[in-house]
Structure 1
Amino acid sequence: MDNFQIETAQNVSIYQNVAGIGERLLAFLIDFLIIIAYFFVTIFLIGAFVSDSRDEWEVISFFMVVNLPVYLYSLLFETFWDGKTPGKNAMNLKVVKLDGSKPGFGSFFVRWILRVIDITISTGGIAVVTILLNDKGQRLGDMAAGTTVISLKKRASLRDNLLVEIPDHYVPTYPQVTVFNDKDMQTIKTLYTNARKNANHNVIVKLSDKMKAMMGVDPEEKPFDFVNRVIADYNYYTQQ
């Protein structure tokens, strides 16, 4: 599948990898098996504990209420689990907005409503076709909601190299780090790490000067501290 670029709320460009159709189908299968298991458990419990003397419509109403989580499965999980369901979590997938903002209830609701067309009525046929034809891996529900499903696993290599440990109450200094993207920061961190390892102060000074020019800042920090701070600030903003 293709990747695409989004911008965070802080205007930092991040490249995301669209989840493959195979991964999404496996995630769907896991969720489907969980739903089926829950469905049969409720049938067993109703049969075991509901009296035969009860009115038929009363039993049906009770059955529908008990199985409400089945109907709302994807909506509830995606809303309260940051765009994930158990199946998506198992496959390291997540629903995100194309514009970089965090999906809200409205986005998840639109995706859920259009599942009727995407998956239920067409037995998943429409969803598969639209995902394959769309370069952002969107089914109809995603197109309407402005979302897609990404693979967190596929991004691990680059992002793991960029990640640095940030304190819980970290306060960033340079919002200008938004001029960089993941690839820029990877280059900066590699140069910085190698220069630090080899005690090559000149490389860090030149790197610092280049970064200052690109960011339009004139910090009082020493080059070593400045580059280190920018890397930390970038991580802070891209993780929000």
Structure 2
Amino acid sequence: MSTIKIPTSFNIDLEFQAADLGQRFLAWLIDFVIKVVFVVIFVMIVGNMKDIFNNEGLSAIFLLGILIPVLLYPLLFEMYMNGQTPGKKAMDIRVVSMIGNTPSRSQFFTRYIFRIIEQPIFFWALLPIISILRSPLKQRVGDIAAATIVINIKTKGSISETIFRDLSMTDYKPQFPEILRLSDRDMNKIKEMLDRALLGDKRLAERVATRVKEVLKINTTLPDTVFLETVLNDYNYYTTVEK
């Protein structure tokens, strides 16, 4: 598998492995089977209602009841399952942006539109296969156009191990703009101390929170661990979301 280095805003390069062609094919196959099962069940449910198919209007409604879910399957699942479809989830792979966070809706939509010319029908299947095999980051054409990559999420170097929090898809409201006076190194140290505190060392959380409040002259009634989490989220917001 190809190794991908994703730079973050915190002076850390995260290493991931690009999902290989075999993983992506098996994920596609699982999703294909799910869609086929859905169609079969749908047809079985309405199959006994033969009179409906004698009515063109009702026939069209039932046809759309099959086509729309099947056609929108990859877009909706990836958009609302954090870059995964059931097939991708089963294969432990995920779509991310080129900076490692969840892609925007426009990126998901761009990937989806390019599926039109990348469907595995006749010789069209050669296009995504050739693209994935020749791309250094194992990207299909839709990935290149959308600036996304598909990674193996079982590999080490998870973004969750850093101070990164993906706030791009939320309406997060920061509370402490003073946090920008701290450095990336400071924030990584706070994250390290918070992780230790969450394992049961409440006194450590109190000491760290008190020190941060003193340095930044912050007055708050938030519990110590909640305050430190908010500090990390605020720093992420100001350095990755607000531009």
Cα shift at 1:70: 0.6
Cα shift at 1:173: 9.4
1: CA distance, partners of 2:2 / 2:60:
46
2: CA distance, partners of 1:105 / 1:131:
23
SS at match of 1:100: coil
Find out whether 1:105 has 2:116 as its counterpart.
no
Cα shift at 1:162: 5.2
1: CA distance, partners of 2:53 / 2:33:
32
1: CA distance, partners of 2:142 / 2:154:
23
Aligned partners of 1:6 and 1:13 also within 8 Å: yes
Match in the other structure for 1:83: 83
Find out whether 1:148 has 2:155 as its counterpart.
no
TM-score normalised over the length of structure 2: 0.63
- Structure 1 179/53 Cα, relative in aligned 2: closer, same or farther at 3 Å? closer
Unaligned runs of 5+ in 1: 165-170, 190-218, 220-228
Q: Deviation string for 1:52-99 (max 9, x for gaps)? A: 574135313322234311100000000001000000001111001113
Over aligned residues, Cα RMSD in angstroms?
3.8
Match in the other structure for 1:60: 60
Aligned partners of 1:107 and 1:146 also within 8 Å: yes
Find out whether 1:176 has 2:164 as its counterpart.
no
Match in the other structure for 1:168: none
Aligned partners of 2:97 and 2:149 also within 8 Å: yes
Match in the other structure for 1:119: 119
2: CA distance, partners of 1:92 / 1:55:
45
SS at match of 2:65: helix
Match in the other structure for 1:36: 36
User: Match for 1:4: what amino acid?
Assistant: I
Cα shift at 1:7: 2.4
2: CA distance, partners of 1:161 / 1:73:
28
Q: Deviation string for 1:140-192 (max 9, x for gaps)? A: 0000000010001123xx5499579xxxxxx98985336999xxx9xxx9xxx
Larger mean CA deviation between 36-45 and 48-57 belongs to 48-57
Aligned partners of 2:53 and 2:59 also within 8 Å: no
TM-score normalised over the length of structure 1: 0.64
- Structure 1 58/160 Cα, relative in aligned 2: closer, same or farther at 3 Å? closer
1: CA distance, partners of 2:124 / 2:8:
35
Match in the other structure for 1:5: 5
User: Match for 1:144: what amino acid?
Assistant: A
Cα shift at 1:16: 1.8
Mapping of 1:120-139 within 5 angstroms? 120-121=120-121, 122-139=123-140
- Structure 1 40/136 Cα, relative in aligned 2: closer, same or farther at 3 Å? same
Aligned partners of 1:3 and 1:18 also within 8 Å: yes
SS at match of 2:99: coil
Q: How many residues align?
A: 188
Percent of paired sites with the same residue: 31
2: CA distance, partners of 1:177 / 1:2:
28
Q: Deviation string for 1:176-234 (max 9, x for gaps)? A: 336999xxx9xxx9xxxxxxxxxxxxxxxxxxxxxxxxxxxxx9xxxxxxxxx9xxx7x
